[in-house]
Chains A and B, each alone.
Chain A
Amino acid sequence: MTQPIANCPNCGAKVIFRWSSSVQTVCQYCKSILVRTDIDLKKVGQVADLPPDSSPIQIGTEGVYNRQAFVAVGRIIYEYDQGTWNEWHLVMNNGSAWLSDAQDEYVVTFAVQGRKLPAQCKVGQSYTWDSEEYTVTTITKAHYRGVEGELPFQYWNKDDVVFVDLLSTTGNFATIDYGGDTPALYLGKVVEFDELNLKNLRKFEGWS
């Protein structure tokens, strides 16, 4: 993993990329949202104060999924009626994955392309992708709340996003992101905290 270094166009601070393919990052000092161009970094926005957050995961948290090591390099924070949740951007040897953490319930997913997706769906409906049947369990109207660290695409200044979560009977998980121009499908698994073998976690006062 290379670590190209650049300077923040807003405050001049050093900006380190932990992943060479990152498209966007946030300056750790001035919280400017920076997008990579061919020659340098361009400021496209500013992260407002983030809500209080008690995810045990942080940028730099390492773990293992399916015998592949990963490190969390960035995240998108969403707000919904149960509070906030994080979509942690994981970097593995062969690309990106996402670790969603909502109230300490963990799901690892990978973006998949070329699957047929419904324009809209209802709770209880079932869909089959890659010969696995998924049933819609929740439809969440979420509100983009902020970003941190490196992301594999430009993502800022979003508004309301609808997420559809689906589960299979074997523990496979799917989520359809209706936030973009076309719906995007992510497939993965619901995971137990201990399965991920996480290191470099946040510490909680009074807890070990």
Chain B
Amino acid sequence: MSTSGPTPPGAPQVRSLNCPGCGAAITLRSLSQAVTVVCDHCHSILDAQDPGLTILQKFKAAVDEDLPLIPLGTRGKIRGTDYEAVGFQRRTIRVDGIPYSWHEYVLFNPYKGFRYLTEYNGHWNDTSILRSLPTINSDASPPTVSYLGETYKHFQTATAGTGFVLGEFPWQVRVGESSDVSEYISPPRVISSERTGKEITWSMGEYISGRDVWKAFGLQGNPPESVGVYENQPSPLSTDTTTIWIVFAGLMIVLLLILIGVASSARNEQVFEENYAFNTNARGEASFVTDVFELKGRTSDLVLKTTSGVNNNWLYLNYALINQDTGQAYDFGREVSYYHGYDEDGSWSEGSVEDSVAVPNVPPGKYYLRVEPESDVGHGTIYYSIAARRDVPQMSFFGLAILALLLPAGLITWRSINFEHLRWAESDYGSTGSDDDDSDDAGRPMSLGNLFDQGIDE
């Protein structure tokens, strides 16, 4: 069924026209949706709605002053839809007298309309116009806006001026014109309000990587490296460190359960205990071997405890734990020393009358100890006892495990805080200005207040 009648309008197609300023060819890629189009040859801004393309403004620029990274006319797929790059502009804000410039690309699809890509220092945002109004909460500090249940924190308000334009725009674009831009962030998203005259336009951007832009548009080479931290750049670690701490708490519980399991399954069995006396006045070989004792069960640790009645002296014991059947020996030396006294700072003491050591991974079997005591000669008899416990749960392992978990969680949290610090340093609330003295920095946070308080008068 023919629905459009006997004189259907032809399929809309890209119109080719000539610039009235210099005669160069002008292409209208966004069909009749373009409001203004720029001649890239003589930099005339033309009325795209006028069949004669009346010149609205001319601006001075070198032909290659600012080349779009995405050449106009390039098509790419964004969220499953083909878009063509049709327009390009450079906008600049000044913060404390320093200019910051970014680029905006106008993208067009004849069914879905316009969408925008912005690029600043290698950071990209995919931006489209909001379909409903955000709720502004200007009493909060910083002020916030709510949109679809999400809260966005005010980041910056500045006046953005247009410095360079190319291609087509669905609005009346002029070089030199400016608008007040306020940005509210909830990474990876940003909501911007732009006020020009009496109209406020709200848009939402979502952070995308340059690599994804390159892939979407099939661009050659590599995207420019991103510099610094951008306002709505998602933290590469985790925007939500609470998740990390929840995981940490979970792992701690697991660790605790393991600890309880190990402690309850360990034999923790006394396998040997004996008292000895070492006469320091005697000469000759002091070494001896103990009775044989049996280590049962699984391969596990053996904790050897040495207790001695040393008093302002020391006892050194060369130990060897020897397997009677295989002859395998574990050699180690332990010292017990205890000194104490009294000086001008009060009483002091050093060392201990006890020493404990764990020999790890001792297989079951029959063992004996060879012991060789040493001390200063002429201190009389030193009494000491040796006790061995089999399969003792080692708490130090759990301490290490806790540390191993705590370290990355703490590091990530610290880096995340650091990332957020870098992000907010670029905002109206950064340390360079508003922190130290509000009075000489009235330009920025104040302008936000003005935007809300003045209302909009015609």
Contact = CB atoms under 8 A, between A and B. Distances in A.
Contacts of A206: 13-14
Given A103-B114, A122-B456, A59 B135 contact: no
A29 B132 contact: no
Interface stretch (B4-12, B247-255, B430-438): B4-12
Nearest to A53: B32
A122 B146 CA distance: 23
Contacts of B113: 103-105, 193
B134 A169 contact: yes
B127 to A, nearest CB: 15
A135 B198 CA distance: 13
Contacts, number: 115
B386 interface: no
Interface string B1-39: 101111101011111000000000000001111010000
Interface string A37-78: 000000000000001111010111000000000000000000
Classify chain A: how many residues form its interface, as a range: 35 or more
Interface in A123-137: 123-124, 135, 137
Interface residues of B, number: 43
B171 A82 contact: yes
A83 B35 contact: yes
A29 B7 CA distance: 7
Interface stretch (A154-162, A180-188, A196-204): A196-204
Contacts of A204: 11-13, 31, 110-111
Contacts of B172: 81-82
The binding surface of chain A is classed by DSSP as: loop
Contact of B5 (A29, A103, A171): A29
A137 B132 contact: no
Contact of B12 (A81, A171, A192, A205): A205
Contacts of A207: 82, 109-111
Nearest to B15: A52
Interface string A95-106: 000000001110
A20 interface: no
Among A28, A124, A169, A207, max chain B CB count under 10 A is at A207
B49 interface: yes
Contacts of B3: 58-60, 200
Contact of A53 (B9, B114, B134): B9
B61 interface: no
B11 A123 contact: no
10 contacts: A28-B7, A29-B5, A52-B31, A52-B32, A59-B3, A60-B4, A104-B112, A105-B113, A206-B14, A207-B82
Interface of B: 1, 3-7, 9, 11-15, 30-33, 35, 48-49, 82, 109-114, 129, 131-135, 146, 170-172, 198-200, 455-458
For the complex of A and B, 8 pairs with smallest distance between CB atoms: A104-B113, A60-B3, A28-B5, A54-B31, A171-B132, A205-B13, A190-B131, A54-B12
